[in-house]
Amino acid sequence: MLVTLETTYRVAKLSIATLLLAMATAMPADATPIYNTCYELGGSVGYYEWAVDEHGNFTDAIYLDNCALDDLGAGPSDYEQVLEHEQGHAQGLSHSSAPSDTMYPEMLITGY
Ligand SMILES: [Zn+2]
């Protein structure tokens, strides 16, 4: 589900306790990939975003910069790797310091 800027703004007005409760009860792994964010992710090829509205409803989304990925020559397995990384964030994982790990913050575009 698409998270709008308006929704993100509402998050800022909620208490930390409300946000933590929403995160604990949400199903963030259902994040829907959105592929049309051409060069709008500040240099990232992928991005995970979540928000809670004034009713406590949780929404999240995974954004993929398909324009940047295509320009870099990314293939299907490269797209899959970006999706797996962002799904990891959706499941609550943070970055890893091991270069071979899915949650390492950088990846090599293989073209495959
Ligand atoms: Zn990441």
Checking if the pLDDT of 5 tops 50, the result is no
Checking if the pLDDT of 34 tops 80, the result is no
pTM for the full model?
Answer: 0.72
Residue 90's φ and ψ, nearest 5 degrees, are -65, -30
- The whole-angstrom separation of Cα 102 and Cα 81 is 7
CA 20 / ligand 1 centre spacing (Å): 20
CA 40 / ligand 1 centre spacing (Å): 16
Report whether 34 contacts 55 (CB < 8 A). no
CA 19 / ligand 1 centre spacing (Å): 21
Q: What is the mean pLDDT of residues 92-100?
A: 87
CA 95 / ligand 1 centre spacing (Å): 6
The first and second tokens of residue 82, run together, are: 């970006």
| Confidence grade of residue 105 (pLDDT, cut at 50, 70, 90) | confident
